Amino acid sequence: MIEFQILPAGTVTSPAGFTAVAHAANIKKENQLDLALVVSETDCSCAAMFTKNQVVAAPVIVDRETLAQNSSRLRAVVINSKNANACTGEPGLANARATQQIAAGVLGCQADQILVLSTGVIGVQLPMGKLEAGIVQAAKGLSRENGRIAAEAIMTTDTRPKHLSITVNLPGGPVTIGGMAKGAGMIHPNMATMLAVLTTDAKIAPDVLDGLLRTAVNQSFNRISIDGDTSTNDTILLLANGVSETAVADPDSVQTFSAALNQLCTALAQMIVRDGEGATKFVEIQVTCAQSDDDAHQIANTIAISPLVKTAFAGSDANWGRLLMAAGRAGVTFDQSKINLWIGVQQPGELQLVANGTPTLYQEAAAAAVFAEPEFKILLDLGSGGGGTAVVWTTDLSHEYVSINADYRT
């Protein structure tokens, strides 16, 4: 039996050998935290996944280049908020590389051992004077106690920091996985709009780490959507420093570690959805009996990003016709006369709205009561006889979302 110890107060520094710091470099308004460093006392293996957007920020380009040359000797991550360093041309690339050099000089390592992340407004050059001074000052305060405030420093429109850790017993001994993430808007696969740094004191080879991360992301961060947009800066990093001396190499260890990592990533992903810009509802959409998991995911995702569906969520309007409309335009073939639709709060099968493509004799007030809840579930059974299934987590689309994004740069 696999047993995990989940620590809601855990952070990116919960695994042994990691420290962090947060600092106000005045990239945001004065005295607001806007710079974070996460540092390992020893070299780390590293795996990463990045945005699928064709327009990518300078940090994404530089990190891809860095990891192509070095995925086994990483030491630190530098993260700034308020400025995305995206669509900034050659000066932006130079600034990202200069950030690596500055941090390496302060931390006593090489530039190719530093990864850089940025989040914020697109099309504005980084204020390198402020950033350099901030890195130099911040590095003096590195501590294992700073995991939570590091998660605060990377926030943009987030209303609360997102962090977690999980301890799992492996055949070779216990290891810990910690993580922090930010994201509240421009959230959609791939990979949702987000930055995330995950750490572990397990000893894991880069190729194994890469497979573990991809599996976890595809079951978590690629299953959420707030507004259907994908950022220029999306990045998730997984650093393994091996300080515990417990190796993840044999099949049993890999399987157990993978299950723990998947659980941690799912929890962080759901934190992002619950903190979605202007969100008042957290909705789980499950599609079953599709011909493949990919088909099920495509339908669930299409429902999750439909403005008409999301505004119905916002208005607590159980307008299930919009759910079927969105499913029908997902580009997946199915027989509408066989579909079944349920909704519920504790479980999706509490109230059936559609049976074999036909409305049931449900009470409208009962359906509206479900849609009025802050969290509820939807189950769409395609009735195809296939084994394909998928779950996506999404939000409503409220007036507040429009207000936030209408004023984003001011």
Please enumerate in sequence order all residues whose Cβ is within 8 A of that of 397, keeping only pairs 6 or more positions apart, or say none.
227, 278, 307, 310, 311, 313, 314
Burial class for 10, CB neighbours closer than 10 Å (0-12, 13-18, 19+): buried
Q: Tokens 């005045």: give the residue.
A: 26
Q: In whole angstroms, give the CA distance from residue 241 to residue 72.
A: 9
CB 92 within 8 A of CB 86: yes
Q: In whole angstroms, give the CA distance from residue 316 to residue 318.
A: 6
End-to-end alpha carbon distance in the chain: 52
Indicate if 193 belongs to the active site: yes
Q: Which of 193, 199, 200, 246 is catalytic?
A: 193
Instruction: Give all strands (DSSP E) within 185-328, no chain letters.
Output: 195-200, 224-225, 235-240, 282-290
Residue 63: C-alpha distances to residues 42, 69, 116, 156 (Å):
19, 10, 7, 21
Please enumerate in sequence order all residues whose Cβ is within 8 A of that of 363, keeping only pairs 6 or more positions apart, or say none.
none
Question: Which sequence positions are flagged as catalytic?
Answer: 193
